[in-house]
């Protein structure tokens, strides 16, 4: 019976943590002392690259205002498919982990040591359409430049 | 009586400015190539338009102002300051076309920040910017660090007669070699060697810390460009913090320090005079200043209990101090941490580092450590004088490559430029305060812009008032050119309006 109660309590506390609202990067920086060493939920887009180092990985997760480094076991980041860059919107993830205002393990970095990463929304390719105006200008302007270069050569020769 | 410039004067200025714009257009072919290599078609169009626009405008100016007359001193100064403004305007075109900058003013801000090797930025969503545009941002720093006119002297302008005024006009009052064109070529040689070394070291580190091959090379190249040129642009919004790597930070510290050395000192070191580094007034003053100001910053950070140990203090406190003192602006903390976590004492330490700057005739900005060294020596000399009999003659010398006697003329020049910088810093601070920013933050950001550093406490954002953007653009421009050529341009404009 004790074991069942203990299991339910654990389950409830975990569920509570997952149910807790996500903290924004702005809040984390604003109330850094309050959140320092606490477990937080932080949501955002994975940007750049996942940098794997000796069984662990660094990823950078950006919300509306800023990006924060997330440190996690290598396997935890394995499910992330899209990383944000010019060609892609990165996966939107929910990171559940311990926030450090100045991480003693990582030279004072402000980071989150992830205990769980959930992919909320998969990223996608960003389509960069060719604007008609730009295409026209890309044809006309080089032609003008070429014409002017020829005129310059003539002017230089005859003056 | 003010004499109005004649048509011939305008033609000479137009002719040389046209060549600079032409050169800028040709440089845009590099990011265009990057766009083609990485399949960034939409970005490629931005550079086709930008380059064609520059080439067309350049040729129009050259044809309309065709002349075979050489530059005089007066023309040279005007060409320099005008060319920097034109470079800002034309350099901003591909940036604006990318739609990552909210307005053309914002794009101009970043172009000036790049050319002046400042590093303050108004880019939006940097993490999704194309490789081509990132290449252009960092290239502006690499060109601006050596000097737009140094590029022109090396590749576009022939004739030693024209060279000296435009070399001096770009805030380089010391020649490394007797000939200015040779000096320009030496500056390029040193810069390319360190760029190569820096790129290799940073690319390898980025690759070994988990970045994919081609991207680690690009990041290595870009960061090396901006670190050597004490610029401060980075390809990701978190700046150097993005890499979470101590070795990467150490390499950037080395590059920043190398970039902040006087090119004359580089020449002496290349010539085997290694002792020069321990004797030169610049290196000695820099060492003393950096240690004192780091102590001040570290004290503030330790009292506030911001960082847990010596390593953290080094990676956060020392890094920011070196970045500020060399005028780079690379950051291993988030901008708002300056405001929220750092004490006023630490912030003051970094602000003073920025204000002082590093070596004269280097890629760094600010008052310059040589001038600070001379001011302190003069102060000591004056104290000594008060203790000696009136008839005693006191001669003071400094060691800067060779022994130099400190004369009245040198001291006056140093005092004037220092005073001009202080006024420049005050200008931005006053504008900042009048717009409602707190004094310490307004001072910090203003010094960062005026000294071409690029550290930000969060004021520089796309949403900041246009007046402040224009003020910072002016500060970056005047600070980079060290005023003389800016005054020459302002004088010419006045002469055009009011002259006879």
B312 is a domain residue: no
Nearest to B450 by CA among B355, B338, B319, B340: B355
Per DSSP, the residues of B274-311 read TTHHHH-HHHHHHHHHHHHHHHHHHHHHHHTT-SSSHH
Specify burial of residue B185 (Cβ count, 10 A radius: 0-12, 13-18, 19+).
middle
Q: How many Å lie between the alpha carbon of A115 and the closest alpha carbon of chain B?
A: 19
Q: What is the DSSP string of B169-238?
A: HTT----SSSSHHHHHHHHHHHHHHHHHHHHHHHHHHHHHTT--HHHHHHHHHHHHHHHHTT----SSTT
CA distance B359 to chain A (A): 29
Q: What is the pLDDT along chain B (500 residues), one digit of tens a residue?
A: 777 888 888 999 999 899 999 999 999 999 999 999 999 999 999 999 999 999 999 999 999 998 878 778 788 888 889 999 999 999 999 999 999 999 999 999 999 999 999 999 999 999 999 999 999 999 999 998 888 777 776 666 655 556 666 677 666 666 677 777 788 888 889 999 999 999 999 999 999 999 998 999 999 999 999 999 999 999 999 999 999 999 999 999 999 999 999 998 999 998 898 889 999 999 999 999 999 999 999 999 999 888 988 999 999 999 999 999 999 999 999 999 998 899 999 999 999 999 999 988 888 889 999 999 999 988 988 888 888 887 887 778 888 888 888 888 889 989 999 999 999 999 999 999 999 999 999 999 999 999 999 999 999 999 999 999 999 999 999 999 888 888 888 988 898 888 77
Which of A62, A106, A129 minimises the CB distance to B127? A62
Residues in B closer than 8 angstroms to A138, CB to CB, are 45, 48-49, 52
Q: How far A64 CA sits from the closest chain B CA (Å)? A: 10
The stretch A120-149 carries a mean pLDDT of 96
List Cα–Cα distances, B369 to B128, B281, B292, B373, in angstroms. Answer: 38, 9, 14, 6
List, as one string, the DSSP characters of A43-89.
EEEEEEEEEEETTEEEEEEE-SS-EEEEEEEGGGGTT----BSSSEE
Q: Which two tokens stand for residue B325?
A: 């003192």
Chain A residue closest in CA terms to B246: A107
CATH topology of domain A20-125: OB fold (Dihydrolipoamide Acetyltransferase, E2P) (2.40.50)
Model confidence at A5, in pLDDT bands (50, 70, 90)?
low
Q: Which two tokens stand for residue A78?
A: 């394995």
Contact residues for A78 (Cβ-Cβ < 8 A; gap 6+) = none
Residue of chain A minimizing CA distance to B42: A130
Helix (H, G, I), strand (E, B) or coil at B407: coil
Instruction: With cut-offs at 50, 70 and 90, classify the pLDDT of residue A7.
Output: low
Name the residue with tokens 């003693």: A104
B237 CB neighbours in chain A (<8 A) are: 47, 62, 66-67
Is the pTM here over 0.90, yes or no? yes
Say how far apart CA B143 and CA B188 lie, in whole Å.
10
pLDDT at residue B44 in the model: 97
Overall number of domains in chain B: 1
Interface test with B, best of A84, A148, A150 (most B CBs within 10 A): A148
Neighbours of A41 (CB within 10 A): 19
Best mutation target among A107, A138, A157 (most B Cβ atoms within 10 Å) is A107
Instruction: Please compute, for residue B198, the number of CA atoms within 13 A of its CA located in the half-sphere on the CB side.
Output: 30
Residues of chain A with Cβ-Cβ distance to B40 below 8 Å are 86, 128
Closest C-alpha to A152, from B15, B160, B163? B15
Which of chain B's residues have a Cβ under 8 Å away from the Cβ of A48?
Answer: 127, 236, 242
For residues A6-20, average pLDDT: 50
Question: B75, B169 in Cβ contact below 8 A?
Answer: no
Cβ–Cβ gap A84/B242 under 8 Å: no
Do the Cβ atoms of B269 and B276 come closer than 8 Å? yes
Percent pLDDT > 70 in chain A is 87
**pLDDT value at position B444?**
96
The per-residue pLDDT for B173 is 67
Nearest CA in chain B to A138: B49
Q: Is residue B294 a part of any domain in this protein? A: no
Residues A128, B316: C-beta atoms closer than 8 Å: no
Inter-chain CB proximity A130 and B128 less than 8 Å? no
ipTM above 0.95, yes or no: no
Distance in angstroms (rounded) separating the CA atoms of residues A78 and A74: 7
Domain that holds residue B157: 1-173
Q: Which of A51, A86, A108 sits opposite B40 (nearest CB)?
A: A86
Strand-pairing partners, residue A71, are A58, A113
Q: Report the pLDDT value the prediction gives residue A8, as an integer from 0 to 100.
A: 54
Mutate to test the interface with B, among A141, A146, A147, A156 (most CBs of B within 10 A): A141
- B93 contacts in chain A (CB < 8 Å): none
User: Are B415 and B367 in contact, with CB atoms under 8 Å apart?
Assistant: no
Please report the DSSP string for B112-175 in residue order: HHHHTT------SSGGG--HHHHHHHHHHHHHHHH-HHHHHHHHT---HHHHHHHHHHTT----
Nearest to A102 among B237, B238, B307 (CB): B307
What are the angstrom distances between the C-alpha of A22 and each of A118, A122, B40, B336?
A: 13, 18, 35, 20
What's the 3-state SS for B361-396? CCCCCCCCHHHHHHHHHHHHHHHHHHHCCCCCCCCC
Q: Which residues of B touch A136 (CB under 8 A)?
A: none
Are B143 and B84 spatial neighbours (Cβ–Cβ below 8 Å)? no
Q: Give the span between the Cα atoms of A89 and A148, in whole angstroms.
A: 42
Task: Please give the pLDDT value at position B75.
Answer: 84
What are the tens digits of pLDDT across the range A65-122? 899 999 999 999 999 999 999 999 999 999 999 999 999 999 999 999 999 999 999 9
Query: Which of B301, B334, B343 would you mutate first to test chain A, the one with the most A CBs within 10 A?
Result: B334
Q: Which residue of B has its CA nearest to A55?
A: B210
CA angle B216, A49, A53 (to 5 degrees): 80
Per-residue pLDDT at A2 exceeds 70 = no
For residue A1, the distance in angstroms to the closest alpha carbon of chain B comes to 44
Please list every residue in chain B whose beta carbon sits closer than 8 Å to the beta carbon of residue A152.
59, 62-63
State residue B163's pLDDT score.
66
Which has more pLDDT, B45 or A156? B45
């Amino acid at each position: 019976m004790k074991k069942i109660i203990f299991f339910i309590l654990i389950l409830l506390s975990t569920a509570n943590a997952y149910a807790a609202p996500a903290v924004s990067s702005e809040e984390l920086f604003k109330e850094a002392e309050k959140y320092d060493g606490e477990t937080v939920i932080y949501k955002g887009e994975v940007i750049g690259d996942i940098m794997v180092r000796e069984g662990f990985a660094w990823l950078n997760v950006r919300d509306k205002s800023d990006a924060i480094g997330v440190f996690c076991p290598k396997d935890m980041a394995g499910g992330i498919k899209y990383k944000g860059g010019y060609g892609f919107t990165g996966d939107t993830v929910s990171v559940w982990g311990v926030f450090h205002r100045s991480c003693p393990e990582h030279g004072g970095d402000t980071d989150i040591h992830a205990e769980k990463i959930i992919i909320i929304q998969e990223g996608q390719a960003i389509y960069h359409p060719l604007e008609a105006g730009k295409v026209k200008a890309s044809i006309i302007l080089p032609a003008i430049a070429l014409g002017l270069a020829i005129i310059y050569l003539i002017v230089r020769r005859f003056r | 009586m003010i004499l109005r410039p004649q048509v011939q004067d305008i033609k000479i200025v137009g002719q040389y400015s046209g060549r600079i714009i032409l050169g800028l257009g040709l440089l845009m072919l590099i990011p265009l190539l990057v766009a083609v290599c990485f399949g960034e078609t939409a970005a490629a169009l931005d550079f086709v338009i930008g380059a064609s626009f520059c080439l067309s405008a350049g040729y129009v100016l050259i044809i309309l102002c065709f002349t075979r007359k050489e530059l005089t001193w007066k023309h040279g100064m005007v060409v320099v300051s005008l060319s920097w403004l034109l470079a800002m305007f034309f350099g901003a075109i591909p940036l604006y076309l990318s739609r990552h900058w909210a307005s053309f003013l914002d794009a101009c801000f970043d172009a000036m920040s790049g050319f002046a090797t400042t590093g303050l930025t108004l880019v939006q969503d940097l993490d999704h910017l194309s490789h081509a545009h990132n290449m252009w941002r960092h290239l502006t720093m690499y060109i601006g660090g050596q000097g737009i006119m140094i590029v022109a002297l090396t590749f576009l302008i022939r004739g030693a007669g024209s060279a000296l005024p435009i070399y001096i006009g770009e805030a380089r009052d010391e020649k490394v070699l007797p000939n200015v064109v040779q000096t320009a070529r030496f500056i390029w040689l040193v810069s390319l060697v360190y760029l190569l070394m820096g790129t290799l070291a940073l690319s390898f580190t980025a690759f070994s810390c988990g970045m994919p091959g081609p991207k680690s090379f690009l990041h290595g190249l870009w960061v090396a460009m901006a670190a050597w040129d004490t610029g401060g642009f980075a390809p990701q919004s978190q700046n150097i913090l993005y890499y979470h790597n101590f070795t990467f930070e150490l390499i950037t510290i080395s590059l920043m320090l190398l970039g902040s050395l006087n090119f004359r000192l580089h020449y002496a070191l290349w010539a085997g005079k290694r002792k020069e580094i321990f004797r030169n007034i610049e290196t000695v003053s820099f060492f003393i200043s950096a240690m004192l100001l780091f102590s001040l910053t570290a004290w503030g950070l330790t009292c506030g209990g911001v960082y847990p140990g010596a390593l953290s203090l080094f990676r956060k406190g020392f890094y920011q101090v070196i970045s500020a003192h060399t005028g780079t602006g690379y950051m291993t903390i988030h901008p708002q941490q300056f405001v929220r976590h750092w004490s006023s004492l630490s912030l003051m330490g970094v602000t003073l580092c920025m204000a002082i700057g590093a070596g004269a005739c280097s890629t760094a900005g600010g008052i310059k450590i040589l001038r600070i060294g001379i001011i302190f020596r003069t102060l000591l000399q004056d104290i000594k004088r008060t203790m000696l009999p009136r008839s005693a003659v006191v001669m003071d010398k400094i060691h800067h490559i060779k022994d130099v006697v400190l004369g009245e003329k040198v001291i006056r020049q140093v005092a004037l430029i220092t005073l001009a910088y202080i006024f420049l810093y005050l200008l931005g601070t006053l504008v900042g305060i009048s717009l409602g920013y707190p004094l310490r933050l307004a001072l910090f950001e203003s010094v960062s812009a005026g000294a071409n550093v690029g550290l930000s406490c969060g004021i520089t954002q796309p949403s900041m008032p246009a007046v402040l953007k224009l003020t910072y653009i002016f500060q970056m421009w005047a600070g980079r050119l060290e005023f003389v050529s800016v005054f020459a341009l302002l004088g010419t404009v006045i002469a055009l309006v009011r002259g006879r």
